[in-house]
Amino acid sequence: MWYYALNQEQHGPVNYFDVVSLIGSGTITPSTLVWQQGMDEWQPAGETELAQLFRKEDAPDSQGSDKLTVETKYDVPAHTKSTQLLSMSGHTLSGRWGQSIGMALAHIGVLMGLSFLPLIGGLVSMLFTGALAVGANRFWLNLLRGGPTKIDQLFSGMNRFGPALITYLLFSLISVVVMVITALPGGILLGIGISQLPANPQITDFNALTWAGIILVATIPTLVATYIIARLSFCFYVLSDDDQIGAVDALTRSWNLMTGNFWRLMILWTLLSLIMLGCLLTLGIGFIWAAPYMQVAMASFYESLLTEEYEKG
């Protein structure tokens, strides 16, 4: 939490998201004194970690001062910490929980309804998962960016049905192929080890090859697939943002956006998983609020990736 001085008065505490807004409005400038826990004394914002949020104008004003503005067109700074993203999510949802919960429940309800269709439920659900994800992401991105939000935006992705379906199929195919290929070494060792075991073996009879195969099959595919899935996981956000981009390009852009951000996403996923576990203590009722909260957190992460891309030029 940050405190800032304005007109010789102390203001705050405000969270990181509020600080970004205050900088954008010009309330906090590089010369504004700020402080947060851990700092020895008050310092100008431009000399703290907040300096990354400013840049110099191409031309000075008439007074020759260093007038600075927010560096990017996005509200979420690059490399924002996961805890700050969660704080931003709560701030974004403030006063808009009702509609956000409605969207989250509608998305889940439609997918479940499609999957329960007799005989063809699995196929129909697969066909529409991508398009619904595109539509839902438009809602969450608009919510984050201050744009118009309506629950029927869930179906707005139908105008991208083809690219969304191809993206979903490629995403699934890549994940399965990676799992199979990375499981082969462990599977081979496991097969060799099992062939050397006596008939009706007990666990104490397992040899080194058997144990090595079990460990490799249980770990390597999961680790590699997690990395691949994380790098490709923002493809539907890309489709939501660009009506002209195709499936392959959406997957490629997601991969590129995630360069250097894998562990940051892992931390966020871990925190979101803990939230989901906590919801179990509420007999699932907490999921009603956790669902939109997690969606906004992921949209905020995507925004931070766009900021990083923007800053790199």
Last residue in a domain, options 44, 71, 98:
71
- 77 falls within a domain: no
Task: Note whether 116 and 156 are same-domain residues.
Answer: yes
Q: Which pLDDT value is given to residue 65?
A: 38
**Neighbour-count burial for 60-74, b at 16+ CB within 10 Å, e otherwise:** eeeeeeeebebbbeb
Residue 245 belongs to a domain = yes
Predicted confidence (pLDDT) at residue 223 exceeds the cutoff of 90: yes
What pLDDT, on the 0 to 100 scale, is given for residue 259?
96
Residues 185 and 248 placed together within one structural domain of the fold: yes
Percent above pLDDT 90 for the chain:
59
Are 237 and 271 in a shared domain?
yes
Whole-angstrom CA distances from 248 to 232, 253, 262 are: 11, 9, 20
Cβ neighbors of 273 (< 8 A, separation 6 or more) are none
Residues 158 and 291 in one domain: yes
Higher pLDDT, 47 or 105: 105
Q: Bigger pLDDT: 25 or 187?
A: 187
* Whether residues 152 and 207 fall in one domain: yes
User: Both 94 and 218 in a single domain?
Assistant: yes
Most confident of 91-95, 274-278, 281-285: 274-278
Cα 264 to Cα 48, 82, 172, 269, 292, distances in angstroms: 22, 7, 23, 9, 20
What is the signed CA dihedral for 208, 212, 214, 216, rounded to 10 degrees?
Answer: 180
Whether residues 46 and 141 fall in one domain: no
175 inside domain: yes
The pLDDT confidence band at residue 17, using thresholds 50, 70 and 90, is low
Whether residue 66 is found in the same domain as residue 154: no
User: pTM value?
Assistant: 0.75
In a domain, 78, yes or no: no
Q: pLDDT tier at 73 (50, 70, 90 boundaries)?
A: very low
Structural domain boundaries, residue 246:
83-312
Q: Is residue 40 part of a domain?
A: yes
What is residue 37's predicted lDDT score, i.e. its pLDDT?
A: 83
For residue 68, name the pLDDT band (cuts at 50, 70, 90).
Answer: very low
Task: Among 71, 97, 117, give the residue marking a domain's end.
Answer: 71
Residues 17 and 137 in one domain: no
pLDDT in tens, 132-157: 999 999 999 988 887 889 999 999 99
Indicate if 28 and 93 belong to the same structural domain. Answer: no
Q: Is residue 146 part of a domain?
A: yes
Q: What is the mean pLDDT of residues 253-279?
A: 96
What's the number of domains the chain is made of?
2
